[in-house]
Structure 1
Amino acid sequence: MELCAPHGGFASEYSPVLRVPLYSVEHITAEHIVKHQKRQQKRIDSFRPDDRLTHDQRAELEDFRRSGFDRGHMAPDADSWDEESEYDTFVLSNMVPQAPDNNRELHAHIEGAVRHMAKREGSIYVFTGPVFQGDTSYLHRRVAVPSGIFKLIYDPKRHAAAAYLENNVNGPQGQTYKVISSVELTQLTGIDFLPGIKNLGMLDLPVPRESNHFVRHSTKPNHFFGF
């Protein structure tokens, strides 16, 4: 199912069977990043089920309670540029069960690195979603828990793309990642994210660090490059 954020911040390809997005895609511009920086407001959490979906199709807040997993944004709230676009990101159809160590540390550093890239390049497209390998577990037998998380960046100016691939686990393995091509990501997920775009170069992605954040977060700075 295709779901579009009401205020245009992102769109999601959603699975009512897995009850998670297969990906959320954003067009991030330098203008958006500057607007977010100028807001200087604390994040306002407004987690909620997607009322465009039936109970059988969607995740509920109860599915995540005491599960040990975060409600992990695919299109991040920190990519929003006003209150309306931020509110849109907190719908559960934009979230997957994410290991806290990964979500709050490495994944947050990757998000920050991508925002810096968008500000530098002026305009990029970003796809973020789950990877399912091996036996899939479910929260309350309803919401699929991914084995990994990807973030694919396409830079039209450079005609190049590449993806971060992370482990969705706690501990040191949740702080590891590797960079793969868009072709490799398609082979892994079965999704052609950039149909019709041929002969893509391999995009040079920045190393994610805590210092990539525009606003300092209380997270541990250490992670390891690898997978």
Structure 2
Amino acid sequence: MKVSHTLKYLFILLLAFSCKSTEVTPDKTDHLALGNPSNAITDSSQPENYLLAKPQYVVSYSKSRGIPNWVSWHVNSTWLGQTDRQDNFRADATLPAGWYKVNASSYTGTGFDRGHCTPSADRTSSSEDNAATFLMTNMLPQAPNHNRETWANLEEYTRKLVQQGMEIYVIMGAYGAGGTGENGYRKTIDEGRVTVPARIWKVLVVLPEGNNDLNRINSSTRVIAVDSPNLNSVSGDWAKYRTTVDAIEQATGYDLLSALPTKLQQDLESRLDNGPVR
């Protein structure tokens, strides 16, 4: 018996839908999927570890330092698009009432860049997402060469991995006081209200794009850890500053990748990455 053209068409549609349903559908996953490194909370009685949860990233903020302790975010293909850089640096109005709010001119004339933690170019799917990266609670005073070369090269490499079909969980932060910018060494700027960090670090957990991310992390997963000096004489080659997650934890007191099983954490955090850098 011949199958009618209508039945053939319905069969093709059903087959196409069935195949599509098995495809990977990446989403904008929880930015704290790997854990909250300092157990930050949104409570003004905890001013040195204050949690700012944005749709685009999550921050642990220090009131006395005027900068993040750390920022955590996820980047995959859904976050990358064609939106232009908004360049609307501004104070973060969501900080508690009465707190000093670092503003767009706080770094002016200091010799340090308003250095993004979550990069502008990691959030180009919409103007709203991109604008969120220009809040001053997402900034660190970075030596210009560190911001424009060392960190820019690492950020570009991160997006290159995404373009190659990967997704990345990133945690970045800073510690210590005292960096050297274009105008020399400073411990603070903005009349002492913003600390210039001595060291800036970043950890990247790299996965093929997919679903159920935590369940897909194993002892073979690539983890890149970088800890670099906040100096204008810094090398543009970020790979020179590769270290271990363990070393960053020892320097900061944070518990990174805490959502992973203990044995897996130990395996990944003790390993020094030697993978490709371009």
CA distance in 2, matches of 1:78, 1:206: 21
Aligned to 2:91: 49
- Distance of aligned partners of 1:175 and 1:164 in 2 relative to their CA distance in 1, 3 Å threshold: same
- Say whether the 8 Å CA contact 1:130–1:149 is kept in structure 2: yes
Task: Give the count of matched residue pairs.
Answer: 200
Counterpart residue type for residue 2 of structure 1:
L
Unaligned runs of 5+ in 2: 1-49, 180-185, 207-213
Given candidates 52, 61, 64, the residue that maps to 1:14 is: 61
Which whole-Å deviations, capped at 9, do the CAs of 1:94-129 have from their partners, x for residues lacking one? 001011111111110000111122333532210111
2:104 maps to which residue?
61
Identify if the C-alpha distance between structure 1 residues 165 and 174 changes in structure 2 by more than 3 Å, giving closer, same or farther.
Answer: same
Alignment match of 1:117 (pick from 148, 161, 165): 161
**Match of 2:188?**
138
* Contact residue 166 and residue 175 of structure 1 kept, 8 A: no
Which residue, out of 247, 257, 260, partners 1:194? Answer: 257
Structure 2 residue 196 is the aligned partner of structure 1 residue 168: no
TM-score by length of 1: 0.79
Task: Provide the secondary structure at the position in 2 that maps to 1:26.
Answer: strand
Name the counterpart of 2:241: 178
TM-score (norm 2): 0.65
Q: Give the partner amino acid of 2:107.
A: F
CA 1:142–1:174 in 2, change beyond 3 Å: closer, same or farther?
Answer: farther
Give the whole-Å Cα distance in 1 for the aligned partners of 2:235 and 2:229: 5
Counterparts in 2 of 1:196 and 1:115: CA distance versus 1, 3 Å: same
Quote the Cα distance in structure 2 between the aligned partners of 1:190 and 1:105: 28
Tell me by how many angstroms 1:190 deviates.
Answer: 1.1
What's the % identity of the aligned pairs? Answer: 28
Structure 1 unaligned segments of length 5 or more: list them.
Answer: 209-227
Are residues 1:72 and 2:115 paired?
yes
Residues 13-38 of structure 1 show CA distances to partners (whole Å, capped at 9, x for unaligned) of 111111101111111113323xx2xx
Query: In structure 2, what is the equivalent of residue 105 of structure 1?
Result: 149
In 1, are the aligned partners of 2:170 and 2:204 still within 8 Å (CA)?
A: yes
- Structure 1 or 2, whichever has the larger Rg, is 2
Which range moves more in the overlay, 122-131 or 44-53?
A: 122-131
Task: Find runs of 4+ consecutive structure 1 residues off by over 6 angstroms.
Answer: none
> What amino acid does structure 2 have at the position aligned with 1:46?
N
Q: 1:20 & 1:89 partners in 2: Cα distance?
A: 14
TM-fit CA distance, 1:12: 0.7
Q: Distance in 2 between matches of 1:109 and 1:68?
A: 21
Q: What secondary structure is seen at the aligned counterpart in 2 of 1:63?
A: coil
Is the 8 Å Cα contact of residues 124 and 153 (structure 1) preserved in structure 2? Answer: yes
CA distance in 2 between partners of 1:191 and 1:183 (Å):
10
Q: Distance in 2 between matches of 1:20 and 1:57?
A: 11
Structure with greater strand percent: 1
